[in-house]
Amino acid sequence: MTPEDILSHPPLALLPEQREFYFANGFVAVDGLVPQEWVQRLTTRSNAFLEESRSIEKSNEAFDLGPTHSAETPHVRRLRATVDRHPEFWEFASQSIFAGVAADLVGPDVKFHSAKLNYKWPGAGEVVQWHQDIPAWPHTNYSPVTLGVYLDAVEPVHGPLACIPGSHEGDLFPHMDTQGNWTGTIGKSDLKNIDTNSAIELTGSAGTLVAINCRTIHGSRANRSAAVRPLLLCVYSSADAFAWMPPPTPTTKTGEIIRGKAARIAHLDPRPCLAPPNWAKQGYGSIFTAQQGK
């Protein structure tokens, strides 16, 4: 579907100007959009998983652990595939306001792709370098959108997500080094031609929604506050977008239609995307392991 087709459907969760901002800029943030009741439920779940991580020493299919992780001071960089970790995460991804936001941005037929909960710990140097999402999980078109919700208020000091306006209409860049190894980040020579100073930081109170198109260049600075920054991220696409490589972090819900109906014909966007490694064979750690070359 084109943005015009999508916008011809009445909005379910966003204001018309918020949808238009998304299509013009490749991202949008809406302060406090997710109801506090959901923020509290998700925070309770998140805290329970952080507690559980104390008994774990090495990264596994649920937890991506940072180098300083210990039972005393947990350092979980990411809770993977959240929808398979607890039913409440799936309820949120498929039945909350997120489903309406997804329909407002990809059209009435919505396919679920993946979900994760990123933490950004103070002082741990967790910079997320400039990258685009779609090179890791290419689809037949560029409808995929990542929806995020901040579980706590995020100010510039917390290392908010930052997006480069209009970059979704520009090129896709290789996220590999010169030997073809996956780096999960745009290379230095390409970055020279990208105006990273134009990036807009997406800040807001607990419950703030952030929506980022899969082509948009984004990243986040280190967290210089004293508090961890939990950010739950769910990825959706239009039903007529089909992944053409195995997903990096498959879930049991990947490919489920959460609104509307399944598509039988793929929408093919002619703009090219390099093939990533075959994650089903190579395995995938996380954006942190890739960007730090581990």
Ligand X SMILES: O=C(O)CCC(=O)C(=O)O
Q: Is 45 helix (H, G, I), strand (E, B) or coil?
A: helix
Cβ count near 3 (within 10 Å): 15
For ligand X, the closer of residues 1 and 34 by Cβ is 34
According to CB under 6 A, which residues from 251 to 290 bind ligand X? 287
Minimal distance in Å, beta carbon 231 to ligand X?
5
Determine which residue in the list 102, 172, 210, 231 makes contact with ligand X, applying CB under 6 A.
Answer: 231
Please identify which residue in 45, 111, 218, 253 interacts with ligand X, judged by CB under 6 A: 218
Least distance (Å) between residue 251 CB and ligand X:
15
Q: How far is the CB of 162 from ligand X (least distance, A)?
A: 8
φ/ψ of residue 17, rounded to 5 = -70, -25
x-or-dash pattern for ligand X, window 68-107, by CB under 6 A? ----------------------------------------
DSSP letter at 7?
Answer: H
Classify 285 in phi/psi space as left (phi over 0), alpha (psi -120 to 50) or beta.
alpha
The answer to whether residue 228 forms part of the interface with ligand X (CB under 6 A) is: no
Q: How far is the CB of 172 from ligand X (least distance, A)?
A: 15
Positions in 138-197 near ligand X (CB under 6 A): 161
133 binds ligand X (CB under 6 A): yes
Min separation Cβ 128 and ligand X, Å: 4
Best CA proximity match to 121, nearest among 211, 48, 230, 30: 230
Q: Is 220 in the site for ligand X (CB under 6 A)?
A: yes
Q: What is the DSSP string of 143-154?
A: --EEEEEESS-B
DSSP 174-233: --B-TT--B-SS--HHHHTTS-GGG-EEE-BSTT-EEEEETT--EEE----SSS-EEEEE
Instruction: Tell me the three state secondary structure of residue 39.
Output: helix
- Give the nearest distance from C-beta 289 to ligand X in angstroms: 12
Q: How far is the CB of 125 from ligand X (least distance, A)?
A: 13
Write out the DSSP string of 75-111.
-EEEEESGGGT-HHHHHHHHHSHHHHHHHHHH-SSEE
Q: Which is nearer to ligand X, 92 or 137 (CB)?
A: 137
Q: In this chain, which residue has its C-beta nearest to ligand X? A: 220
> Of 112 and 267, which CB lies nearer to ligand X in the complex structure?
112
Q: Looking at beta carbons only, is 161 or 241 nearer to ligand X?
A: 161
Phi and psi of 98, rounded to 5°? -60, -35
First to last CA, the chain: 38
Q: Of 161, 142, 169, 132, which Cα lies nearest the Cα of 238? A: 142
Nearer to ligand X, 19 or 175 (CB): 175
Taking the least distance from each CB to ligand X, the nearer of 234 and 239 is 234
Contact 42, 149 (CB under 8 A): yes
Site for ligand X in 101-130 (CB under 6 A): 118, 120, 128
Residues that bind ligand X (CB under 6 A): 118, 120, 128, 133, 161, 218, 220, 231, 287
